[in-house]
Amino acid sequence: MLWSRIFSNLTTNFNIRRRQRGRHFATKKHYVPTPKAAPSPKTVTPSTSDATLLIIYKDEAHQALADPELVVGQLGAKFNLRFKNFKHYRLVKIQGFTSTFVDSYGIITLTYQRITAANIWVFCIDLDSRRFLTKPHFVNGLLGQSYALASPTIKNYRLLLAKGPIRGTFSDKQAVVTYYYRNNNIQDITYQPYFLEMLDFITCYDNPLGHLTSVTLAKGTVWKTFQTILLTDGQIWHCMGGSLWIKETAAAFKKITGPTKRSALNYQAAIKLPYSQPINQLATINFVPHKQVTSYERPFGRPSQQFTHNQQVLITATLQSYNITWYQLNHTSWITSQYLKISAQKGN
């Protein structure tokens, strides 16, 4: 009698709530046939059901995922149930499970968990130096859940560009979002090359507004620029190769149309390099996806070849000059260490 009153109250309250929401409650009934007994003149098979089972589908927050189901049959009879599947959910808990009608009234509660989606990796990169401004991190959520990413705020930098799915729906596939920033001191950057003839002995810096290096460009030599930066205070800086920069002043140099034969020789001999050490090591180019990085004929020399991000190369020699490590690629051109991921695998 106690089970009867509880089940009756549960069903009555459920129907009241359904009608208050403006919908008529209709449970799904599954009739499980009672095995027939052997023929006997004294045996009468009951024609009515005397066992009822309620199946409830919910998530971990106790929110209903589907209408409850009613299964009716005879006490002691066996039955088979096929539980529902829900997109983006997996079954994690079953309470009250039975495969036989053991009581007049019973409840099976199925609890489902929302599946966690694959990660979305976030990278913050200086657009001009190609270096990471923060450690890479990832964002994750539940499968099928919507998201909208916000760019991180980085001191002394402004956001220029975002690449990747910054808005969307979490899925089972990993994604990458890259934010590109520029230093607030930089107003503009151009990559048009110039030939500069030194009018005096000019000492190089390691960066615009950076520190002096021990590299001096000799008077009368001609150098090709690879990058020119205009700062917000009006200063102009030229990249002379690698991490060597000079500030533009009227007395420092003059622009020419191209190097003469004599100045080209000076250009090659301006920096004295130590002897290189032969090595035989595999590596991959570490630059920017779908972009190419330039290598040089010699350290601090003229541009030579371009290599694509993630391209495999063979390192054949190395040297260090002015605290910059250079590697020779495939016996032909040179590149600085920051653009390489060196493998532990030796070359053939």
How far does CA 50 lie from the centroid of its chain?
58
Using an 8 Å Cβ cutoff, are 251 and 198 in contact? no
Q: For 149-176, write each residue's pLDDT tens digit.
A: 999 999 999 999 999 999 999 988 889 9
Predicted confidence (pLDDT) at residue 91 exceeds the cutoff of 50: yes
Q: In angstroms, what CA-CA distances link 260 with 109, 197, 222, 299? A: 87, 10, 8, 21
Q: What percent of the chain has pLDDT over 90?
A: 25
- Residues contacting 77, CB < 8 A, separation 6+: 32, 34, 35, 51, 100, 101
Model pLDDT, residue 264: 45
- Beta strand 244-247 with 324-329 is unpaired
Report which residue type is found at 154: I
**How many CB atoms sit inside 10 A of residue 114's CB?**
17
Predicted confidence (pLDDT) at residue 218 exceeds the cutoff of 90: no
Query: Which pLDDT band holds residue 33 (cuts at 50, 70, 90)?
Result: low
Query: Which pLDDT band holds residue 271 (cuts at 50, 70, 90)?
Result: low
- Beta strand 105-114 with 120-126 is unpaired
Token output for 143:
């499968």
Give 18-55 as a DSSP string. HHHTT-----EEEEPPPPPPPP-TT-----S--EEEEE
250/204: higher pLDDT: 204
Model pLDDT, residue 102: 86
**How many CB atoms sit inside 10 A of residue 222's CB?**
21
Q: For 114-138, write each residue's pLDDT tens digit.
A: 888 888 999 999 887 778 898 888 8
Dist. CA 254–CA 265, nearest whole Å: 18
Instruction: Please state the pTM of the whole predicted model.
Output: 0.48
- The burial class, CB within 10 Å (0-12 / 13-18 / 19+), for 192 is exposed
Query: Which pLDDT band holds residue 1 (cuts at 50, 70, 90)?
Result: very low
Model pLDDT, residue 322: 64
Dist. CA 7–CA 106, nearest whole Å: 8
Predicted confidence (pLDDT) at residue 7 exceeds the cutoff of 90: no
Sheet holding 105-114, edge to edge: 28-31, 69-73, 51-59, 105-114, 89-95
Using an 8 Å Cβ cutoff, are 218 and 270 in contact? yes
287/258: higher pLDDT: 287
Kindly report which listed range (23-32, 133-142, 313-322) carries the lowest average pLDDT score: 23-32
Q: For 275-312, write each residue's pLDDT tens digit.
A: 788 899 999 998 777 777 888 888 877 778 888 888 99
Report which residue type is found at 237: W
